[in-house]
Amino acid sequence: MDFGFLQHLCDEIIRDYGTRDVFLIAEKVGVSIIYESWHPVTFGEFEKNTKTIRINRNALASAANAEDLERKIVAHELGHFFAIDLKLGRKEEEKFARAFAEIF
């Protein structure tokens, strides 16, 4: 993963949307955030076809700092959204989303 490219992309997103707040960015790009409960194998998911982030309530319920975890989940899943045009393979996209969330 080219960290310079990713940092530049994140800087552009912050500039274009006027915020670092991942919840506001999701709203501005038309990504819905919904909360559901499922066995805590994953914390969140992104559905490309519906532009929806799904957050696992069970993961938040057991977290020491649920607010921070929630923000990190949204940032990670937004990374998947912003990776759409990059045409990455599944493993590369996951690395991209992890690194994207670290910047935010």
From 37, 2, 26, select the one nearest 81 (Cα to Cα): 26
Provide the token pair at 43.
């914390």
Residue 14 CA, chain-centre distance (Å), reads 14
pLDDT tens per residue across span 16-66: 999 999 999 999 999 999 999 998 789 999 999 999 999 999 999 988 999
Q: Domain residues for 7?
A: 3-103
Report how many domains make up the chain.
1
How far apart (Å, rounded) are the C-alpha atoms in residues 79 and 94? Answer: 8
Q: Is residue 13 within 8 Å of residue 103, measured between CB atoms?
A: no
Six token digits for residue 12: 């552009």
Q: Structure tokens of 58?
A: 């069970």
The pLDDT confidence band at residue 4, using thresholds 50, 70 and 90, is: confident
Q: What is the pTM of this model?
A: 0.92
CATH code for position 54 = 1.10.10.2910
